[in-house]
Amino acid sequence: MKTFSYEIKDAIGIHARPAGLLAKEAKKYESKIVIKKEGKSAEATKLMAIMGMGVKCGNVVDVEIEGADEEKAYEDIKAFFEANL
């Protein structure tokens, strides 16, 4: 399992557009990608679950990646967060 923490820098937080992009990106991998914040968690492939977490600017989320292609997924998802969130 690979993990990283990330502080959200998008002024609006994880709203519909970036959540949709994240779900689309996460679906490219076999690995299970889970986002966690303050006891809540959501699979990154589930748009409504991500939005339901209410992640705001300045919140820190933990991302867990586990599966057959976790190395590639880790690198790509981390880069996605840095570029989009």
Q: What spatial distance separates the first Cα and last Cα of the chain, rounded to whole Å?
A: 22
Gyration radius from the chain CA atoms: 11
Domains plus CATH for the chain? 2-84 (3.30.1340.10)
22: how many CB neighbours lie within 10 A of its CB?
A: 23
CA distance 46 to 48: 6
Active site residues: 15
In this prediction, residue 2 carries a pLDDT of: 96
pTM more than 0.85: yes
Residues 5-32 pLDDT 10s: 999 999 999 989 999 999 999 999 999 9
- Cβ atoms within 10 Å, residue 38: 12
